[in-house]
């Protein structure tokens, strides 16, 4: 009787239904737990069901750019200076923070830096140019700014920023662009352009021609801009990027290569990319060469052993620095590259503007690449520790390529100006004045936007959503 009741057709269906719901509920709970917890070890079953961060795929991007680096280190780079015809060569100490190199100098000093600009331009040329309505036919989403350069001046047309971090990133990006434009040797040659930039890590609208901080290989419509950190970043031990670089150089005087710890260091938050970052923590667990630990930003004291907060320059005290992407790209890479250390990174999925210069093999090798699951991390570390001269060479190349060339303020400013120029080739001519109704069926000319110089004086509420929509 009981048995029959249990196995009646509708009861069975109900039973399946309930167990189905229970299973889904269990999966959801496991995933929520796995992606949110900071617990260093997870049950196997939770690890199995963890999604791979928020990325859509496991695909990674490795560039073959040895030719660019070859020409970058060729001894005599000749460029025409504006006045006399002389030989000019980029010199880190003299030119590194010169935001006003001319175009010939930029080309000569930073071969390979403009690869993604060329790619985006050629992609656009094949698909049709950007028209004004392409930038106005959608609502700005979180982190976006619509802006314009006109007669060499930067104008803010519209913003949609949701919090103070958003606001800081946007102001820092605009400030960097403004610096690059103001420093131009030939400012009138800066073309008039209108564009929309976004300071969000993840592209909310990857099929639109937006200026972004990072993209995946398939986000071909996006244009890359330098990260706001080149201006400055309001976080413990950070600051203006060249300030951090100067700190790293200072630290190197006290602690040269031989004084560094022969260990792999990493500090970060696991729940920004749980699967990827946990794989790193697991692969390093218990190894003699490991100083890999998670940081909990909420703990101001960082008391947990192995989890002490390390500033970017403190990481320079280690011979090896691990790098792992976060929700999308990780802005920490550029700080790690300021150290005379070996960067050990998994195959990257997110592309930043200067990633074409990363080289994982050959005489100019400037970082070490491992698989995205870190399965080969242990053998890679054993090999590096067994070949200290190779490790030293990679660390030296890291400094020569990044700290002393492609991550300089000079390179950043060259990149911004090249971006503006290339964008102009595939986009419309913006206007400074537009016709608006004056209420009496007549139209008058009204200037669009507000100058950057004025915008930065506005208060928080005005800056984050400008201009406020009419009530
Ligand atoms: C440098 O200038 C000379 C003439 O002033 C010109 O012939 C030459 O093509 C220029 N070189 C480059 C690399 O622009
Ligand atoms: C611009 O808009 C046109 C017409 O709506 C569309 O065909 C084209 O694909 C858009 N271009 C971009 C870059 O979005």
Q: Does residue 333 share a domain with residue 352?
A: yes
What pLDDT, on the 0 to 100 scale, is given for residue 49? Answer: 65
Asked, for residue 249, whether it belongs to a domain, the answer is yes
CA of 150 to the centre of ligand 1 (A): 30
Asked, for residue 394, whether it belongs to a domain, the answer is yes
CA of 130 to the centre of ligand 2 (A): 7
What pLDDT, on the 0 to 100 scale, is given for residue 466? Answer: 95
CA of 71 to the centre of ligand 1 (A): 18
Residue whose CA is closest, atom 2 of ligand 2? Answer: 134
Residue whose CA is closest, atom 13 of ligand 2? Answer: 130
What pLDDT, on the 0 to 100 scale, is given for residue 58? Answer: 45
Closest-approaching ligand to the CA atom of 221? 2
Q: Is 131 in the pocket of ligand 2 (CB under 6 A)?
A: yes
Tell me which residue range forms the domain holding 371.
241-406
Closest-approaching ligand to the CA atom of 133? 2
- How many Å is the maximal CA-CA distance in the chain? 104
Q: Write out residues in the chain with pLDDT < 50, as ranges.
A: 1-3, 53-58, 73-77, 299-305
Tell which atom from ligand 1 comes closest to the C-alpha of 108.
13
Q: Does residue 298 share a domain with residue 246?
A: yes
Asked, for residue 258, whether it belongs to a domain, the answer is yes
Residue whose CA is closest, atom 10 of ligand 2? Answer: 134
Is the four-CA dihedral 364, 367, 371, 375 of positive or negative sign? positive
Q: Which residues of 398-428 are buried (b: 16+ CB within 10 A; e: fewer)?
A: bbbbbbbbbbbbbbbbbbbbbbbbbbbebbb
- Which residues are near ligand 1 (CB < 6 Å)? 80, 85, 104
Q: Does residue 186 share a domain with residue 268?
A: no
CA of 80 to the centre of ligand 1 (A): 6
Tokens 């196997």 sit at which residue? 44
Q: Is 134 in the pocket of ligand 2 (CB under 6 A)?
A: yes
Q: Does residue 384 share a domain with residue 249?
A: yes
CA distance 321 to 316: 8
Residues 311, 237 contacting (CB under 8 angstroms): yes
Residue whose CA is closest, atom 6 of ligand 1? Answer: 80
Q: Does residue 227 share a domain with residue 325?
A: no
Mutate which of 71, 77, 80 for ligand 1 pocket (most atoms within 8 A of beta carbon): 80
Q: Does residue 282 share a domain with residue 149?
A: no
Q: Does residue 252 share a domain with residue 196?
A: no
Q: Does residue 360 share a domain with residue 271?
A: yes
Closest-approaching ligand to the CA atom of 428? 2
What pLDDT, on the 0 to 100 scale, is given for residue 296? Answer: 61
Q: Does residue 150 share a domain with residue 98?
A: yes
Would you give the DSSP letter of residue 15?
Answer: H
Asked, for residue 139, whether it belongs to a domain, the answer is yes
CATH number at residue 396: 3.40.50.2000
Q: Does residue 209 share a domain with residue 305?
A: no
What pLDDT, on the 0 to 100 scale, is given for residue 7? Answer: 54
Asked, for residue 344, whether it belongs to a domain, the answer is yes
Tell which atom from ligand 1 comes closest to the C-alpha of 104.
14
Mutate which of 121, 126, 128, 136 for ligand 2 pocket (most atoms within 8 A of beta carbon): 128
CA of 110 to the centre of ligand 1 (A): 18
The answer to whether the peptide bond before residue 371 is cis (omega within 30 degrees of 0) is no
Tell which atom from ligand 1 comes closest to the C-alpha of 78.
13
**Count of structural domains within the chain:** 3
With a CB cutoff of 8 Å and minimum separation 6, the contacts of 365 are 359, 393, 394, 397
Q: Does residue 145 share a domain with residue 171?
A: yes
Asked, for residue 62, whether it belongs to a domain, the answer is no
Q: Which of 372, 406, 440 is the last residue of a domain?
A: 406
What pLDDT, on the 0 to 100 scale, is given for residue 233? Answer: 95
Q: Is 28 in the pocket of ligand 2 (CB under 6 A)?
A: no
With a CB cutoff of 8 Å and minimum separation 6, the contacts of 248 are 312, 313, 316, 338, 339, 340, 403
CA of 103 to the centre of ligand 1 (A): 13
Q: Does residue 288 share a domain with residue 322?
A: yes
Asked, for residue 321, whether it belongs to a domain, the answer is yes
Residues 323, 388 contacting (CB under 8 angstroms): no
Residue whose CA is closest, atom 3 of ligand 1? Answer: 80
Asked, for residue 384, whether it belongs to a domain, the answer is yes
Q: Is 209 in the pocket of ligand 2 (CB under 6 A)?
A: yes
- CA R_g for the chain: 25
């Amino acid at each position: 009787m009981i048995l029959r009741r249990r196995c009646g057709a509708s009861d069975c269906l109900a039973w399946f239904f309930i167990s189905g719901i229970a299973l889904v509920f269990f999966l959801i709970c496991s995933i929520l737990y796995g992606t949110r917890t900071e617990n260093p070890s997870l049950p196997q079953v939770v690890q199995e069901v963890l999604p791979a961060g928020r990325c859509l795929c496991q695909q990674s991007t490795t560039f073959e750019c040895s030719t660019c680096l070859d020409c970058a280190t060729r001894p005599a780079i000749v460029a025409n200076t504006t006045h006399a015809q002389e030989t000019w060569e980029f010199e880190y100490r003299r030119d590194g923070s010169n935001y006003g190199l001319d175009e010939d100098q930029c080309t000569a000093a930073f071969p390979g830096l403009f690869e993604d600009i060329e790619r985006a331009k050629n992609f656009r040329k094949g698909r049709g140019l950007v028209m004004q309505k392409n930038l106005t036919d959608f609502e700005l989403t979180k982190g976006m700014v619509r802006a314009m350069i006109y007669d060499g001046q930067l104008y803010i047309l519209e913003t949609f920023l949701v919090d103070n971090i958003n606001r800081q990133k946007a102001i820092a990006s605009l400030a960097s662009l403004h610096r690059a434009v103001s420093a131009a040797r030939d400012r009138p040659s800066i073309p008039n352009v209108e564009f929309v930039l976004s300071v969000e890590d993840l592209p909310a609208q990857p099929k639109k021609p937006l200026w972004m901080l990072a993209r995946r290989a398939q986000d071909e419509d996006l244009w890359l801009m330098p990260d706001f950190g080149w201006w400055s970043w309001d976080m413990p031990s950070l600051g203006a990027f060249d300030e951090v670089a100067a700190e790293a150089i200072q630290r190197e005087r006290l602690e040269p290569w031989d004084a560094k710890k022969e260990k792999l260091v990493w500090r970060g938050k696991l729940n920004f990319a749980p699967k990827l970052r946990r794989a790193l923590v697991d692969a390093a667990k218990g190894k003699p060469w490991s100083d890999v630990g998670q940081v909990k930003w909420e703990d101001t004291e960082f008391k947990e052993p192995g989890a002490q907060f390390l500033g970017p320059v403190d990481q320079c005290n280690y011979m090896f620095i691990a790098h792992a992407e976060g929700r999308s790209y990780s802005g920490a890479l550029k700080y790690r590259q300021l150290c005379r250390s070996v960067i050990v990174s998994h195959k990257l999925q997110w592309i930043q503007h200067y990633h074409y210069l990363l080289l994982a093999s050959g005489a100019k090798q400037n970082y070490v690449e491992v698989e995205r699951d870190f399965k080969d991390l242990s053998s890679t570390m054993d090999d590096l520790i067994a070949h200290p001269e190779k490790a030293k060479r990679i660390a030296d190349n890291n400094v020569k390529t990044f700290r002393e060339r492609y991550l300089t303020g000079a390179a950043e400013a060259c990149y911004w100006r090249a971006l503006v120029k290339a964008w102009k080739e595939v986009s419309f001519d913006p206007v400074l004045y537009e016709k608006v109704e004056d209420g009496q069926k007549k139209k008058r000319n009204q200037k669009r936007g507000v100058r950057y110089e004025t915008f930065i004086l506005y208060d928080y509420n005005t800056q984050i959503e400008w201009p406020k929509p009419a009530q």
